[in-house]
Structure 1
Amino acid sequence: MLGNFQYCNPTKLYFGEQSLTFLKEELQKYGPKVQLSYGRDSIKKNGIYDQVMELLKEAGKTVFEDPGVMPNPTVEKLYEGCKIARENEVDLILAVGGGSVCDYAKAVSVSAYCEEDPWEKYYERMEEVDNRIIPVGCVLTMVGTGSEMNGGSVITNPERKRKIGHVFGENVFPKFSILNPVFTYTLPKYQMVAGIYDIFNHITEQYFSGEDDNTSDYVMEGLMKSLIHSSRIAVADPMDYEARSNIMWTATWALNTMVEQGKTTDWMVHMIGQSVGAYTDATHGMTLAAVSMAYYRYICPYGLQKFVRFAENVWGVQTEGKSKEQIAKEGLASMENWMREIGLVMNLRELGVTEEMIEGIAEGTFVMDGGYKILSHEEIVDILRKSM
């Protein structure tokens, strides 16, 4: 493995069907005021809200509710959450929901006591946190982002048509996260498969970088193979606990910073997809799926050896009598077939993108330099057009 790195992950995880019982134990570590952040009505319909509220009550907490966190949390919602946290001097933000709610909670945690506009400071200028941080805990109800065990937080500014992620340091990681696979059962299929692809793309964003023999690549190949296997079972039977638990665990390890060690990482699919999301408010995993094949086929010649390895080790492509180019293309074809099989959106038009949006989406795309090709504006436009 190349490079020098430090590794620390301070988040404590509770996993399994009985994991929520440990919430009361964790709550004892914090003061009496809890900001409960969640989405819309789903956690009330499936009973998770009542279970969490009962534990908060038993722990003697005063709860300040912060509902209505949307799938792509907006800067306006961030300001609203900051006001609740600051005015009530909350001791803990408890996020109950999917990755968007966890992302939002972390954004509030660093922004509530920020003396400047947090959007400008943390998302435009990408500055580090130099103010009080409110601790965050998570009860996960949807898998995909890995936000339950990392410092990432993505916020959308609809007015500026920008969707930006900031990866904060370990002091912003959730202090604890509760992962009960059963809580994901009621998720609509569309959201489930979008989350599955978000997981897969988190892995490929890190995998398709570097040339060295890296332990992280072997780990990522195993994670991808597990995810592909479990995704097929979960699509056929969403109540299969083993499949859903494996998907949940893979999601956490895909983006808890472990497999990125020694990697330069790519992240261009995410940068393009997030810009698409800023224009359309489309489901995050679907924006990634819609642009992935055009992107990976474009950069394949620049990282050919890794794409050959991907074809062999992840998709089982037979190599005898084939050129490297043929092997790599066959691997990408296998990936595309799997994506279609599980029901992903495969083009941008289905997400509401029009030709008139393409220049703006490309302009709003951050260009990263860790992958096999640094893209120009014109190349991003070409990839977007090929994704239509």
Structure 2
Amino acid sequence: MINFNYSIPTEIFFGKGSISILGKQLKRYGAKVLVVYGGGSIKKNGIYDLAIKLIKESKIKFWELSGVEPNPKISSVRQGVKICRDNRIDCILAIGGGSVIDCSKAIAAGYYYGGDPWDIVTDPSKIKKALPVASILTLAATGSEMDIFAVITNEETKEKLGTKSSYMAPRFSILDPTYTFTVSKNQTAAGTADIMSHIMENYFNNTEGAYVQDRLAEALLKTCIKYGPIALEKPDDYDARANLMWTSSLAINGLLDYGKVKGWSVHGMEHELSAFYDITHGVGLAILTPYWMEYVLDNNTVDKFVEYGINIWSIDKNKDKFTIAHESIEKTREFFNSLGLPARLKEVGIDEENFEKMAEGATRHGKLGEFKPLSKQDVINIYKSAL
């Protein structure tokens, strides 16, 4: 295990009715709030009305930015920055899933940056300050409610890039599992795959001695495997939704990667897919993950797959190493398929046309990943195997 500095600054208010603290908490950060949300589902399920009621009761002035896209675009960030500057906004409240929260984080950082907000996406070192961000989570998936990351798409250049800064960590997040009862089966499945991918990006890692992190990761993976199917069949099962929601936060808030050398693989490849084709992030991850696993499996990585197969999928430890590894990969694919997620790129309308460009984008900063670093050609090969 390598040295690390521990800091997870977001305050979490978890459980039924936890939105009751909204007004009091927002007032800690100012009297003028920008409320950011997506396509309007929060108005159908009543979350919007309740949030606005609490904001008004606290005598907080508010402005709105609606229509944030599932893969949030830099144009929405620019629009939000303008609203904040024109009205001297004190803080930002994101109501929604990871896309809305990511957009809000970028707006918060862009407010203090003198140039175009895309600059702070391509170069996070330019982020020196950010407006306070708070969130009301409505989808368990990205973990953005408790981390320092934001992923933004530039629709003009077809780039989808992640940026990060400790300044962007939400000051507080409200996590009420009942707010995910109305999430569709497709989004629940994609969210579960997204959570699992966050965990596996940290789990499949070469850092030695990170026993605690790996056991935590396995517990969280088992939680997804147990409760993902239950949430699909019983969308108002509180325990299923609560466990998925908390797992979403823990998967990427730092606990699993503190003490490890950083380096993700599948996310970098998938960001290119959703930048070019605007597909749901979790769907792309579910498709690519098993093919990435098969591609990186070799004599140097097989022991990790054995650990994964035995501890997660209860495969007989007396079997041959590579048999265990292949079976664990197949069980991963079968689980994603059991959630109703596609197994191949062609199922979501993707062909070979942009593989070269996407692989080039995925490896723009050099080889991709830490577990088994991938070249541009490696990424192309994985895309082709996933067709």
By the TM > 0.5 criterion, same fold? yes
Give 2:43's aligned residue.
Answer: 44
Using the size of structure 2 for normalisation, the TM-score is 0.96
Give 2:127's aligned residue.
Answer: 129
Tell me the distance in 2 between the aligned counterparts of 1:324 and 1:5.
33
**Contact 1:209 / 1:370 at 8 angstroms: preserved in 2?**
no
1:227 aligns with 2:224: yes
Describe the SS at the equivalent of 1:133.
Answer: coil
Partner amino acid, structure 2, of 1:123: V
Give 1:89's aligned residue.
Answer: 88
Give 1:199's aligned residue.
Answer: 195
1:312 aligns with 2:310: yes
Tell me the distance in 2 between the aligned counterparts of 1:140 and 1:124.
26
Give 1:347's aligned residue.
Answer: 344
Partner amino acid, structure 2, of 1:183: Y
Instruction: Report how many residues are paired.
Output: 383
Tell me the CA shift for residue 142 of structure 1: 0.7
**Contact 1:37 / 1:93 at 8 angstroms: preserved in 2?**
yes
Matches within 5 A, 1:369-388: 370-388=369-387
Tell me the distance in 1 between the aligned counterparts of 2:207 and 2:168.
31
Tell me the distance in 2 between the aligned counterparts of 1:166 and 1:55.
32
Tell me the distance in 1 between the aligned counterparts of 2:89 and 2:370.
41
Question: Do the aligned partners of residues 30 and 52 (structure 1) sit closer, same or farther apart at CA in structure 2, a change above 3 Å counting?
Answer: same
Tell me the CA shift for residue 126 of structure 1: 3.5
Tell me the distance in 2 between the aligned counterparts of 1:275 and 1:306.
27
Tell me the distance in 2 between the aligned counterparts of 1:243 and 1:191.
15
**Contact 1:69 / 1:101 at 8 angstroms: preserved in 2?**
yes
Tell me the distance in 1 between the aligned counterparts of 2:349 and 2:324.
34
**Contact 1:208 / 1:265 at 8 angstroms: preserved in 2?**
no
**Contact 1:16 / 1:179 at 8 angstroms: preserved in 2?**
yes
Tell me the distance in 2 between the aligned counterparts of 1:317 and 1:368.
32
Partner amino acid, structure 2, of 1:351: V
Question: Do the aligned partners of residues 336 and 38 (structure 1) sit closer, same or farther apart at CA in structure 2, a change above 3 Å counting?
Answer: same
1:176 aligns with 2:172: yes
Tell me the distance in 2 between the aligned counterparts of 1:30 and 1:335.
44
Tell me the distance in 2 between the aligned counterparts of 1:183 and 1:368.
40
Tell me the CA shift for residue 370 of structure 1: 4.6
Give 2:74's aligned residue.
Answer: 75
The counterpart of 2:137, out of the listed 120, 136, 140, is 140
1:330 aligns with 2:330: no
Give 2:149's aligned residue.
Answer: 152
Partner amino acid, structure 2, of 1:342: L
Give 2:163's aligned residue.
Answer: 166
Q: Deviations over 1:83-118 (max 9, x none)?
A: 001111101100000010011100000002211222
Tell me the distance in 1 between the aligned counterparts of 2:240 and 2:367.
34
Tell me the distance in 2 between the aligned counterparts of 1:369 and 1:97.
30
**Contact 1:208 / 1:266 at 8 angstroms: preserved in 2?**
no
Identical-pair percentage? 39
- Which has the larger displacement, 292-301 or 50-59? 292-301
**Contact 1:264 / 1:371 at 8 angstroms: preserved in 2?**
yes
Tell me the CA shift for residue 351 of structure 1: 2.2
Tell me the distance in 2 between the aligned counterparts of 1:68 and 1:377.
35
1:293 aligns with 2:256: no
Tell me the distance in 2 between the aligned counterparts of 1:152 and 1:290.
23
**Contact 1:128 / 1:168 at 8 angstroms: preserved in 2?**
no
Tell me the distance in 1 between the aligned counterparts of 2:138 and 2:341.
21
Matches within 5 A, 1:79-118: 79-118=78-117
**Contact 1:280 / 1:351 at 8 angstroms: preserved in 2?**
no
Tell me the CA shift for residue 244 of structure 1: 0.7
The counterpart of 2:242, out of the listed 239, 242, 245, is 245
Give 1:30's aligned residue.
Answer: 29
Tell me the distance in 2 between the aligned counterparts of 1:229 and 1:69.
31
**Contact 1:142 / 1:184 at 8 angstroms: preserved in 2?**
yes
Unpaired runs of 5+ residues, structure 2, are: none
Tell me the CA shift for residue 327 of structure 1: 0.9
Tell me the distance in 2 between the aligned counterparts of 1:369 and 1:358.
15
Tell me the distance in 2 between the aligned counterparts of 1:102 and 1:197.
19
Q: Deviations over 1:216-262 (max 9, x none)?
A: 00110111111100112112211111111000010000011111111
Partner amino acid, structure 1, of 2:160: K
Describe the SS at the equivalent of 1:314.
Answer: helix
| CA root-mean-square deviation | 1.2
Unpaired runs of 5+ residues, structure 1, are: none
Using the size of structure 1 for normalisation, the TM-score is 0.96
Q: Deviations over 1:133-164 (max 9, x none)?
A: 11000000111000000110000011111100
Tell me the distance in 2 between the aligned counterparts of 1:318 and 1:77.
51
Tell me the CA shift for residue 213 of structure 1: 3.0
Describe the SS at the equivalent of 1:127.
Answer: helix
**Contact 1:267 / 1:368 at 8 angstroms: preserved in 2?**
no
**Contact 2:367 / 2:375 at 8 angstroms: preserved in 1?**
no
